[in-house]
Structure 1
Amino acid sequence: MELQDPKMNGDLPAGAVGCRQEREGFLHSHNSAPGRKSAEFMDFEGKTSFGMSVFNLSNAIMGSGILGLAYAMAHTGVLFFLVLLLCIALLSSYSIHLLLTCAGVVGIRAYEQLGQRALGPVGKVVVAMVICLHNVGAMSSYLFIIKSELPLVIGTFLEMDPNGSWFLNGNLLIIMVSVLIILPLALMRHLGYLGYTSGLSLTCMLFFLISVIYKKFHISCDVGHNETAAESKSPPVHPIQGLNVSCEAQMFTVDSQMFYTVPIMAFAFVCHPEVLPIYTELCRPSKRRMQAVANVSIGAMFCMYALTATFGYLTFYSSVEAEMLQMYSQKDLLILCVRLAVLLAVTLTVPVVLFPIRRALQQLLFPSKAFSWLRHVAIAVILLILVNVLVIYVPTIRDIFGVIGSTSAPSLIFILPSVFYLRIVPSEVEPLSSWPKIQALCFGVLGVLFMVISLGFMFFNWATGRSHVSGH
């Protein structure tokens, strides 16, 4: 059942009067005059076109998770992976539907504000902490890419072995990049270059996809394995029980690493904190129009993810690593350009991801305090130290994808939107026994089960040492 559009003249049920009052004056009209009705959420006319909104939301979806999708396919099989990816995409679209419905009821345009409206001050704290956790995970994944790729790029330019020089140590390089590049950018009060960084990131990932497809037809399976192993001087990959180690694609595979795959896919589709701000800026905003933006964006990213995973897997098969760029030759000029593009994109994106964490922490810990440069700098420094320590001691990017994908991703995609819908939509509009409310409840339960099962199997693998069987 569709909720009534607030722009229409129809009345909401009596129990929703409070919701109408919350909408009043939420977004102020530029031409407000005495005696004129206050502008409501849906009356606000943004200036962003449909196409640009799709671009912005697609960029919010796109992230470092794309590098781990071929690894996910290697541990599920081609068909099983594509089915799981499609399910995650559809569920992500449904969760955006829940968010837009809640925003239309109460006129709220921020994820944290929905949390406060649904659960009070505790809800705002919970939502802010979940978003912080997810962004810390995103920062960690970006720095891990710098840690693994920057030594290869510098070693290629200097014609040196990255494993034989102390100044090409990945841990040292991420500290230097954090201090010399990321920290100065993170100390800015405003992110004026955000739009340029967003466009650059999406362009780099498109370049990455095109290169993966191109290389599939220029690297044989055996050559790809032997060349990479020889250059990295790493031990050969050991066969994994139940996993195909030949140059043949498996349609369906189940092994102990499979429980990392769904969290990686969930991590790759998280964009929900950005949905409502994009909704607010959309030209001629309506729930249906914004849902169309979400569907087009998710559909485009599904195609991009599916192509990247499929061609990456069909290049390296069962030996593909959780960070797929590691599989390519260090001397390949095209891959060198890809590495440079990805490094530039992730380096400039880390400060962008740090900003909402700092804003959330300031609102939670110092809500009534005026701006302070000391506090502004201290939070940035502490966050960067925390993330650097995390990246230095976490063995693989797969663990970052797995943990964040099993905690913050199901919370943002499944659990919180369903809780918001159950708590915010008035019972007079949708009774608790109605099919939409039952769907939302089942959706939230699915998220809890997904979180518990994924974390349980990952902790079991860590405890038994099986997480290192693959050698990644």
Structure 2
Amino acid sequence: MPLAISHMGIVLGIFVILWSGMTAGFGLYLQSRCAQYLDRGSASFFALSQITYPNAAVIFDAAIAIKCFGVGVSYLIIIGDLMPGVVQGFVGEPAYDFLVDRHFWVTAFMLIIIPLSYLRRLDSLKYTSIAALVSMAYLVILVVYHFIIGDTKEGRGPIRVIHWAGAVPTLSSFPVIVFAFTCHQNMFSILNEISNNSHFRTTAVVLASIGSSAATYILVAITGYLSFGNSVGGNIVGMYPPGLWATIGRAAIVILVMFSYPLQCHPCRASVDAVLHWRPMRSTRQRSEGSPHRHPLLPGGPRGLRTPEPMSDLRFSVITTSILILSYIVAMTVSSLEAVLAYVGSTGSTSISFILPGIFYYKISAPDSPAHQRLMKEDDEAEEGYVSGASDDEGAQARPLTESGILRRHTRNWRRVLLRKMSLGLAIYGVIVMITCLVTNSVFLASH
């Protein structure tokens, strides 16, 4: 973040952070709205694909699986790269050479990661997530502390407040900020497990997570940049004077990524399972000729869509073990995934954050969509005071709409239309971001 600010200037950098947080938060909000069209506890990219773009479901889930797998591998590589320096920072030159061997540390930390990756629910990772948040808090405190005491001013470069370093450096830092808010792969799991999934509660969760992240990024970006100026590097923790606190900071990064790996394994496993379950949809004519299957979530006739089956213990174990073994092998044999992760992040993260939430909501909220009609009817009945005075057989009577009720219905319809247009705008924005990131990565990698 401090390096990104150095390229953009403080004013533009803060704006980009806030803009990226708003767009990512809107993507999360659309995911929560899409989940309303699904049965409680069944929300997933796969389930939405089945009622929007069923024949493309395998592509969506494959992109999510590859993205999460790549990020998980990068975490293992970070552990292997940082731990030798952490050991040397604490004990100096160790007596045994294996203590500064990256392969040893990747293997050692896998022993901690493996049992955490076999937990089925995100809720089971709440304590490790707290430990990861504590580690991140320490890193923030470390950056702010060095800024306050001013021990980095010697050799500090100039400061850009309004001016920027140019279009190319700015565009090269743009993906860093955009992808810093990518957490959308776990949103549906949170919506499935949260005890209160009301619209107010889920919106509050989105605002709290995005708001706290944006505030943290801005704080670290400004204080870190003002500490080193344009001399700041990509890893600000590595720029501080050698010592105990900086070594603890490196260890905090290791703890942070170690406990973040299971959070990538969870959606990766679900997406791999969805890919393995996927079958191409039959034609409309075939579905209309008496298919006995109805969509599990929508009324209105046969659709030929399958209900996602719960993952069996055997299938769960096989997929998880495969992910762990493959990620371990890649992390042990490859020391840098810069090129691969650059393209995986540009496509996978952009798809998950912007394109999929946008197109899913745009499709599922169409006025002629059975799901949308059902949900709209339920909302109208709940808010306009429809009451059943008798059973359906006896004929239920509805309370007539008042003038204020008609106004509220008109306002709701207006909001729905606006939200649908904005969702399409988010998907288009995602395509623009993807193209920008792919071009920037190509230019950056070619220059190196």
Give the TM bin, normalised by the shorter chain.
Answer: 0.7 to 0.9
Distance 1:279 1:75 in 2: 37
Q: Structure 1 pair 298/218, CA: closer, same or farther in 2 (3 Å)?
A: same
**Paired residue for 1:271, among 153, 160, 183?**
183
Q: Give the match's secondary structure for 2:43.
A: coil
Structure 2 match to 1:394: 337
Query: Are positions 1:326 and 2:257 aligned together?
Result: no
Query: Are positions 1:75 and 2:7 aligned together?
Result: yes
Distance 1:155 1:366 in 2: 48
Measured after TM superposition, the shift of residue 359 of structure 1 is: 3.7
Structure 2 match to 1:447: 430
Structure 1 match to 2:249: 338
Distance 1:403 1:174 in 2: 27
Query: Are positions 1:383 and 2:327 aligned together?
Result: yes
Structure 1 match to 2:62: 129
Structure 2 residue identity aligned to 1:393: S
Matches within 5 A, 1:395-414: 402-414=342-354
The superposition leaves residues 111-139 of structure 1 with CA deviations (integer Å, 9 ceiling, x where unpaired) of 3311222111422x233223223322432
Distance 1:379 1:280 in 2: 23
Q: Give the match's secondary structure for 2:157.
A: coil
Contact 2:90 2:247 in 1 (8 A): no
Structure 2 match to 1:251: 162
Q: Structure 1 pair 185/93, CA: closer, same or farther in 2 (3 Å)?
A: closer
Structure 1 match to 2:21: 89
Q: Structure 1 pair 417/378, CA: closer, same or farther in 2 (3 Å)?
A: closer
**Paired residue for 1:302, among 194, 208, 214?**
214
Structure 2 residue identity aligned to 1:269: F
Contact 1:109 1:277 in 2 (8 A): yes
Q: Give the match's secondary structure for 1:126.
A: helix
Structure 2 residue identity aligned to 1:116: Q
Measured after TM superposition, the shift of residue 269 of structure 1 is: 0.8
Contact 2:2 2:225 in 1 (8 A): yes
Contact 1:358 1:380 in 2 (8 A): no
Count residues with an aligned counterpart: 368
Distance 2:63 2:424 in 1: 20
Matches within 5 A, 1:52-451: 69-107=1-39, 108-123=42-57, 125-160=58-93, 167=98, 171-177=102-108, 179-183=110-114, 185-186=116-117, 194-221=125-152, 223=154, 246-255=157-166, 256-331=168-243, 333-365=244-276, 371=314, 376-390=320-334, 392-394=335-337, 402-428=342-368, 434-451=417-434
Distance 1:343 1:418 in 2: 34
Structure 2 residue identity aligned to 1:110: S
Distance 2:270 2:418 in 1: 38
Question: Runs of 5+ in structure 2 lacking a partner?
Answer: 279-308, 373-412
Measured after TM superposition, the shift of residue 297 of structure 1 is: 1.9
The superposition leaves residues 146-194 of structure 1 with CA deviations (integer Å, 9 ceiling, x where unpaired) of 23321211112231399xx964656434543355443465467788851
Distance 1:209 1:200 in 2: 14
Structure 2 match to 1:241: none
Structure 2 residue identity aligned to 1:450: V
Distance 1:213 1:178 in 2: 29
Contact 1:102 1:424 in 2 (8 A): yes
Structure 2 residue identity aligned to 1:410: T
Q: Structure 1 pair 173/400, CA: closer, same or farther in 2 (3 Å)?
A: farther
Q: Give the match's secondary structure for 1:105.
A: coil
Q: Structure 1 pair 350/199, CA: closer, same or farther in 2 (3 Å)?
A: same
The superposition leaves residues 414-459 of structure 1 with CA deviations (integer Å, 9 ceiling, x where unpaired) of 111111012111324679x944333222221111011111111210
Distance 1:120 1:167 in 2: 50
Between stretches 269-278 and 178-187, larger displacement belongs to 178-187
Contact 2:143 2:220 in 1 (8 A): yes
Distance 1:110 1:355 in 2: 12
Structure 2 match to 1:33: none
The superposition leaves residues 288-334 of structure 1 with CA deviations (integer Å, 9 ceiling, x where unpaired) of 33112211221111111110111111112223222222212332x22
Measured after TM superposition, the shift of residue 215 of structure 1 is: 1.0
Measured after TM superposition, the shift of residue 199 of structure 1 is: 0.8
Structure 2 match to 1:232: none
Contact 2:81 2:102 in 1 (8 A): no
Structure 1 match to 2:399: none
Structure with bigger gyration radius:
2
Distance 1:82 1:151 in 2: 35
Contact 1:178 1:384 in 2 (8 A): no
Q: TM-score, normalised by structure 2?
A: 0.72
Q: Structure 1 pair 334/171, CA: closer, same or farther in 2 (3 Å)?
A: closer
RMSD of aligned Cα (Å): 3.2
Q: Give the match's secondary structure for 1:217.
A: helix
Measured after TM superposition, the shift of residue 212 of structure 1 is: 0.8
